[in-house]
Amino acid sequence: MITLAGLTKRYGGTTAVDALDLTISPGRVTGFLGPNGAGKSTTMRMILGLDRPTAGQALVDGRPYADWPVPLAKVGALLDAKALHPRRSARNHLVAMARSNGVPVSRVDEVLRIVGVDEVGGKHAGQFSLGMGQRLGIAGALLGDPEILMFDEPVNGLDPDGVRWVRQLMRSLSAEGRTVFVSSHLMSEMQLTADQLVVIGRGKLIADAPIAEVIAGSSQTTVHVRVPDAAARAALRERLTSEAEQVESTADQLIVSGVPVERVGDLAYELGVRVHELSTKQASLEEAYMELTADSVQYGVAAEVA
C-alpha cells in the first residue's frame, strides 16, 4: 500500500504537487492520469525518495521507502527506461541491481524470460530499441519480486503485442494481491487495464474513484429512451427536466444526461409511458478525462489561425 498525506512539492514559487491525500491499495491496478506538467512524475519520485517533499509525506506500507532494508523487494519501479549504463549488457545491468539488493542472481534469468529479452541478454543495453528498453526496465522492476510496482508510461515504444503483454502483466500482478500504480497518457489502454483512477491537474487531486464511476459521471454518458407516442414523450421529457442535466429530443427519442438509466426507466413506468428502447451510451475514458481536466491543462495548443 502507498499512502500520501498532504504531499506537497514546491520549486521556488511553483507548486508542482499540492497537498495530495491518497491511498493506493493492493489487489488492483490504479491508473495515474493528468495533463503534462500535472505533477505525476514528481509524485512518483517523492514516493521513491528521489525528491524530498516540501511538506507532507509519502509512505510505503507505513514507512518511507528509504527505511526499508531491501527497497527493491518492497517496491519495483520503472520511471525512466534509459536510466542505465549503455555499454553494460542487459543481463549485467540486472546482475548489478540484484547483487546490490541481495537478490539471487538466478532471478535475473527468470525476469529476462518473463519480459521476453532473454535471447538478447548479452547485448549492450544502449543498443536496445525504445520498446526493448522498456521491457528491460520492467524486468528491473520485477527483479526483487516486490509487493508494490510503479510504472511511468510503461508501454512507450512497444508494438501492439507488447502493449497487450504489459496490460496482461499488470492485471496478473494485481490479481496476486500486489499494489500496481501506473501512469500513462494512453486513455484507451488505461480503460482496459485500470480498476481505479487517480487524476491530478496542476498538482491538485481532481478524482480518485473506480474507473466505471469516473466514466459514468461524464456528461458524455447519456441515456437513450425511445418513446413512439409524441404526447407521452413530451410528458416524460417534462418530468426528466427537473432531474437531468440536459434532455435532448430527436424524432422519437430523448437523450438524457445526468440521470442513471434505472431512474429514467422508473419515471417512465410511473407515468405509464410505453418505451421501445432504453439504453445507455457510455462515454469513453478519454471523453471523461478531457472533461475532468479541461481547466487544468497548462500546455494547451493554440487555436489554428485561418
34 vs 18: CA distance, rounded Å:
14
CB atoms < 10 A from the CB of 261, how many? 16
The correct CATH number of 222-281 out of 3.40.50.1970, 1.10.10.10, 3.30.70.980, 3.20.20.120 is: 3.30.70.980
Q: Where are the domains of the chain?
A: 2-215, 222-281
Q: What is the pLDDT along the chain (306 residues), one digit of tens a residue?
A: 999 999 999 999 899 999 999 999 999 999 999 998 899 999 999 999 999 999 999 999 999 999 999 889 999 999 987 777 878 898 899 999 999 888 999 999 999 999 988 888 888 878 888 888 889 999 999 999 999 999 999 888 888 998 999 999 999 999 999 999 999 888 888 999 999 999 999 899 999 999 988 988 887 889 999 999 999 999 999 999 999 989 999 889 999 988 889 999 999 999 999 999 999 998 889 988 898 888 876 655 444 444
Q: What is the pLDDT of residue 299?
A: 56
154 vs 156: CA distance, rounded Å:
6
Handedness of CA 86, 128, 49, 185 (dihedral sign): positive
288 vs 296: CA distance, rounded Å:
14
Asked whether the domain spanning 222-281 has the same topology as the one spanning 2-215, the reply is no
Find out whether 7 and 53 touch, Cβ atoms under 8 Å: yes
258 vs 247: CA distance, rounded Å:
9
Buried/exposed code over 104-116 (b: 16+ C-beta within 10 A; e: otherwise): eeebbeebbeebe
144 vs 151: CA distance, rounded Å:
15
Phi, psi of 226 (to 5 degrees): -100, 120
Residues forming a β-bridge with 256: 223, 247
* Amino acid occupying residue 207: A
Residues forming a β-bridge with 107: none
Q: Which CATH superfamily is domain 2-215 in?
A: P-loop containing nucleotide triphosphate hydrolases (3.40.50.300)
Residues forming a β-bridge with 257: 222, 246
Q: What is the pLDDT of residue 305?
A: 43
Q: What is the pTM of this model?
A: 0.82
